[in-house]
Amino acid sequence: MKNERSSLLRDKKGVDRYLLFILLGIGLIWLKSGLGKLAMGNFADTLGGTLVKFMAKNPYPWFVDFINSWVLPSSSMWGLVVMTSEALAGILITFAALALMFVGGNEKRLVWALKVGIIIGFGLSLMFLLAAGWTSPSTDGLNQLMLVVEGIGVIYAWSLLKKS
């Protein structure tokens, strides 16, 4: 059974490898973003000001109410949550995708790590889209693209878990 699952990751005309390679790119984006915010040192302290600017013309009134009621009063804590979540998503997606592509090992654990990382990334992408997607077409498009890839990644990881 294990050899059969391993071959599933390497066959099917490389589709799985290509998808894992794309997910590796998503993981590296999250890792760079999260570690960059951690290294910057002031992200958590400046998040409130950034959110006030984003909410000034935000087209989603329910999201503005959510940010103003729940996030802004404790924006420093949410800043820590965001940068830690970005780094965690990046670590999980990057290392799970690499391991599934090249190493193998206990694939069920790797697939779960990939799935958890992608779900965290999906949630972050959705929040960023709602908060800042309206600011420019490129911000909107990038977040939509990441949501689609992460959605496909979750479905892919789920299908691998069902096969095991």
Distance set, CA 50 to CA 38, 45, 61 (Å): 17, 10, 17
* Residue pair 101/17 in contact by the 8 Å Cβ criterion: yes
The average pLDDT across 47-58 equals: 95
Is pLDDT at 80 greater than 80 in this prediction?
Answer: yes
How do residues 5-34 score in pLDDT, each as one tens digit?
555 445 554 667 888 999 999 999 999 999
- Model pLDDT, residue 13: 44
DSSP 58: -
Lowest mean pLDDT among 77-86, 93-102, 115-124: 93-102
- Core vs surface per residue 39-69: b (16+ CB within 10 A) or e: eeeebbeebbeebeebbeebeeeebbebbee
Cα-to-chain-centroid distance, residue 155: 14
Percent of the chain exceeding pLDDT 70 equals 88
- pLDDT, one tens digit per residue, over 99-144 is 988 876 558 889 899 999 999 999 999 999 999 998 999 999 999 9
CA dist., res. 100 & res. 16, Å (int): 10
Structure-token match 């309206």, residue found: 134
Q: Is the pLDDT of residue 98 over 70?
A: yes
What residues have CB less than 8 Å from 74, skipping those under 6 apart? none
Tens-digit pLDDT profile for residues 33-45: 999 999 999 999 9
Alpha helices, DSSP H, located in 2-106: 2-10, 15-40, 43-56, 61-66, 75-98
The pLDDT, as a whole number, for residue 107 is 80
pLDDT exceeds 80 at position 3: no
